[in-house]
Structure 1
């Protein structure tokens, strides 16, 4: 009789029933970069509000390495609806073109939950560098050896630097790091002279005078740095790049879980408290649900594939 009673329950119904009780235990929010970068800042801004909304603790877990690929691989293979990934989705879209072999396929093994925020890249230098705009920096690069700090070879800031280098004729040596926070630290210390990185993590060092900003990689000027011209204004027509933060989960996560989590994340990031906190640091709240996120990711993957091919960047 029990079997007959449950005979009419379809797998879809059972999935919805299970999802209605999700989450059943604490969630792990994996950031595949060191603490202090843009993704880490956003993860820590949303973790407590998300825990309050879901009724379970949310633990931020930094798993840096291989330009974010180690932590991403961990989530992709977890097959666990309680493990989330918060990362720079632009960098994630670049990896398939840069790395000859990846242990995961982001389009196959991961699914986008929600896009959360965007921050343009800032082109900055150590205060001792005798250049006050892009033209002066390019001229200086022909007279003096300049080290250009990047979060990793093949990262979005690296490719943005390559694009500026090719468009202007600049000359600099790329120094790779394991994340944005380490690249910033060495540029602040003067061990590297030039840096391009997300505004969210870089702006505080500009405001404190530890870094000097020369340009913003956005189509229009940003209010917090209204006096700073865009890189496009300084001769690199149409140039725009930035850091996109989003949350992804293993591809087999039930749709009802994705839908609920997406709603909660978007509500949190749009809340006045979180929105104002991020805006004050140079990030824009930019939200997308799962369907739009998927379209965005595939478009970014194609766009960056062309840039990588032109730049000839490949990693074994």
Structure 2
């Protein structure tokens, strides 16, 4: 694997809430004793990537539902940079009063094994709130690329090693791309971006031959014919893209990887607030407009609450430690 720069290549208040039958409106019950203080001010969902990517799209749809469930303003803030670490640090150091939450990808845990000196620890410095969604990733290509499928890409990469770039926007997506090159037995150039939207822009413009994206970010552009989907990373096809083969089907046996979105908060967040936010998320995801939007762009809406999420994140930490030992993720210099 080679890694270069883009410039170089390119010259509850929701716990008591309920849906009213038939119209998707939310009825808010009185909070339990001792919980009445939350939320009393704007709730901020910080996304550590550029606007327009899958994490941003998901967070904004969720925020719209949470506004209805919580009866309070919920805003999304983007703070991209350093593979998500800049925004994550801001939340780790933030006030643990239930006004600030981080919405991140699997890179939240993986960065421990990618970044040389993180100013926080993913398992120690954040309170788990909710696993929001799991989703397949996509290997996508520019419509201008001279290959139309995975076999064509592999043949082109073997004919001219390290001549074809692939865009990545976080550690999890970097892993997806490097796992592909490893299993396919090819050499490509990894090009890091600050978010999924810039990758998609360069794919559409023909400046970038291939990129890795979430279904959430890529689907509108696929439907518009602006980019191509070469394969999905999971072992089953995406319901939203049934015509797109899995990478295993397309010629890379053994390929299997799924991304996920998570919500965490500063470590000292009271457990009661974490539980109420998880309940509010579950209510928000039942709202027809929110649910239809997210399902329509490929998101799986099965959630986990704070306790099972803690176990999930620990298991992910063990997974990435093993992947780092095996050389599937590379520590940044």
TM over 0.5: yes
Q: More deviation in 303-312 or 221-230?
A: 303-312
- Displacement of 1:273 in angstroms is 2.4
Q: 1:83 aligns to what?
A: 100
CA contact (8 A) 1:19 1:254 kept: no
Note the C-alpha offset of 1:271: 3.0
Work out which of the residue numbers 25, 33, 40 in structure 2 matches 1:24.
40
Task: State which structure, 1 or 2, has the greater radius of gyration over its C-alpha atoms.
Answer: 1
Aligned partner of 1:180 in structure 2 is 196
Question: 2:79 maps to what in 1?
Answer: 63
Deviates more, 1:53-62 or 1:252-261: 53-62
What is the correspondence of 1:204-219 to structure 2 with a 5 Å cutoff? Answer: 204-219=220-235
- Aligned residue for 1:221? 237
Distance 1:80 1:313 in 2: 33
Supply the distance in 2 between the matched residues of 1:168 and 1:211 (Cα, whole angstroms).
22
1:242 counterpart (258, 268, 271):
258
Deviations along 1:178-218, whole A, 9 cap, x unmatched?
11111111121111101111110011111111111110111
Structure 2 Cα separation of the partners of residues 279 and 140 of structure 1 = 35
Name 2:330's counterpart in structure 1: 313
* CA apart distance, 1:171: 2.0
SS of residue in 2 equivalent to 1:122 = strand
Deviations 1:111-146 (A, max 9, x none): 111111222111111112222321221111123421
1:150 aligns with 2:178: no
Partner of 2:281: 265
Cα separation, 2, equivalents of 1:203 and 1:181: 12
8 A contact 1:116–1:269 mirrored in 2: no
Unaligned runs of 5+ in 2: 1-31
Q: Give the distance between the partners of 1:66 and 1:19, measured in 2 at CA.
A: 36
Q: Unaligned regions of 5+ residues in structure 1, if any?
A: 1-15
* 1:160 pairs with one of 173, 176, 181: 176
Tell me what 1:7 maps to.
none
Partners of 2:184 and 2:107 lie apart in 1 by 24
Please give the root-mean-square deviation of Cα atoms over the aligned residues, in Å.
1.6
SS of aligned partner of 1:284: coil
CA offset at residue 243 of structure 1?
2.5
User: Following TM superposition, by how much is the alpha carbon of 1:164 offset from its aligned partner in structure 2, in angstroms?
Assistant: 0.8
Distance, in Å, in 2 between the alignment partners of 1:43 and 1:267 is: 15
Cα deviation, 1:150-172, whole Å, max 9, x if unaligned, reads 114xx111111111101111221
1:112 to 2:128 alignment: yes
TM-aligned CA deviation for residue 309 of structure 1: 2.7
User: Distance between the aligned counterparts of 1:129 and 1:25, measured in 2?
Assistant: 49
Aligned residue pairs, count: 298
TM-score, scaled to structure 1: 0.90
Partners of 2:58 and 2:330 lie apart in 1 by: 29
Tell me the TM-score normalized by structure 2.
0.85
Deviation at 1:17, TM superposition (A): 5.4
